[in-house]
Amino acid sequence: MSNLFETLKEKISGHNLRIVFPEGTDERILVAAGRLAEENLVRPILVGNIEMVQKKAKELNVNLESIEIYDPVTFIMMDELVASFVERRKGKATEEDARRILLDENYFGTMLVHTNNADGLVSGAAHSTADTVRPALQIIKTKEGVKKTSGVFIMVREGEKYVFADCAINIAPDSSDLAEIAIESAKTARMFDIEPSVAMLSFSTKGSAKSPETEKVAEAVEKAKLIDPLLTLDGEFQFDAAFVPSVAQKKAPDSPIQGNANIFIFPSLEAGNIGYKIAQRLGNFEAVGPILQGLNRPVNDLSRGCNEEDVYKLALITAAQALTK
């Protein structure tokens, strides 16, 4: 495992952080939870029918001794969760609605986080991104001053670490969205001991092409600088002008970023998703994420094609986010 995760393990060890996994009968989730508990890194909470979880764990030889299992149908504190949900939804859900909605494992797990019965949530092994993110946006909501959540990938290859955003959530961000994504991505980067140097990407470098698309990125640069004037951030850049010193010297000689960017903000989800997958498949980078940022409490989304190792690593990241908060 890369140094990135060894560092995270050192950070979270001994803090007894509780991570809830709504997909408690999924084989990948169970094996990862067993490993996390055995290594005493987090306290896993599995959601599901208790007998079914126990049976599956026995088949997989997973020790449940340090793992809690909560069944929404029999959960002893359900009345408190229902009352809290009704209050949080501010007239958008009756008590009857809440009792029905909280039988859904993702809503139930998200309410455990909201009510401090868990420190973070990892889901998505058997659910869509929308199934994971929707309860988080309705219940946990975005941090003050943040309008939208966004999804980043930490791209890791041997000693190299980069942040790519937004690669998961916002299809067509405007200039304000891009500025917000840049600021939040810098905060995420620091959690992984990456000192931020943020490049706002486009198909133009410093006005070499003019279009609504390039002007959107240039506006985002100015807005981000107003939010955090001390952050090393610049653009708009073509990727090579942000990453290759010799190209930066020619195309943007006056920029504070001279080919040393480590956070790359893509102008659209289309570009971000394509970009991270190219780096992953052609550049042999490990793509860790997506890590959701901008929420009041950590909730993270797995790919349905994930394996046990992906679950394990995303749980470490979620615990680190909870600790940082």
Q: What is the CATH number of the domain that holds 34?
A: 3.40.50.10950
5 pLDDT band, cuts 50/70/90, is: confident
Nearest CA to 9 out of 45, 46, 48, 35 is that of 35
Give the distance, in angstroms, between the CA of residue 54 and the centroid of all CA atoms in the same chain. 29
Whether residue 256 sits in one domain with residue 161? yes
Range 41-49 average pLDDT: 96
Q: Are 112 and 20 in contact (CB under 8 A)?
A: yes
Q: What is the pLDDT of residue 126?
A: 85
Give how many domains the chain has, as a whole number.
2
Tokens of 291: 């890590």
* Percentage with pLDDT > 70 across the chain: 99
Whether residue 129 sits in one domain with residue 13? yes
Q: Are 162 and 265 in contact (CB under 8 A)?
A: no
Whether residue 264 sits in one domain with residue 179? yes
How confident is the model over 183-213, as pLDDT tens digits?
A: 999 999 998 889 999 999 999 999 899 999 9
Q: What is the pLDDT of residue 1?
A: 46
Q: What is the pLDDT of residue 165?
A: 95
Whether residue 157 sits in one domain with residue 136? no
Whether residue 315 sits in one domain with residue 276? no
Rounded CA gap, 325 and 322, in Å? 5
Whether residue 154 sits in one domain with residue 230? yes
How confident is the model over 125-170, as pLDDT tens digits?
A: 888 888 888 999 999 999 988 899 999 999 999 889 999 999 989 9
Range 243-260 average pLDDT: 94
Residue 291 located in a structural domain: no
- Average pLDDT over the chain reads 93
Residue 61 located in a structural domain: yes
Q: Are 30 and 53 in contact (CB under 8 A)?
A: yes
- Whole-angstrom Cα Rg for the chain: 21
Whether residue 275 sits in one domain with residue 312? no
Range 302-310 average pLDDT: 86
Q: What is the pLDDT of residue 43?
A: 96
Domain region containing 169:
150-282
Cα dihedral 314→317→323→325 (10° resolution)? -100
Q: Are 265 and 182 in contact (CB under 8 A)?
A: yes
How confident is the model over 48-90, as pLDDT tens digits?
A: 999 999 999 999 999 999 999 999 999 999 999 999 999 999 8
Q: Is the pLDDT of residue 2 over 70?
A: no
Q: Are 318 and 301 in contact (CB under 8 A)?
A: no
Whether residue 300 sits in one domain with residue 234? no
Range 249-263 average pLDDT: 94
Q: Are 196 and 260 in contact (CB under 8 A)?
A: no
Q: What is the pLDDT of residue 324?
A: 80
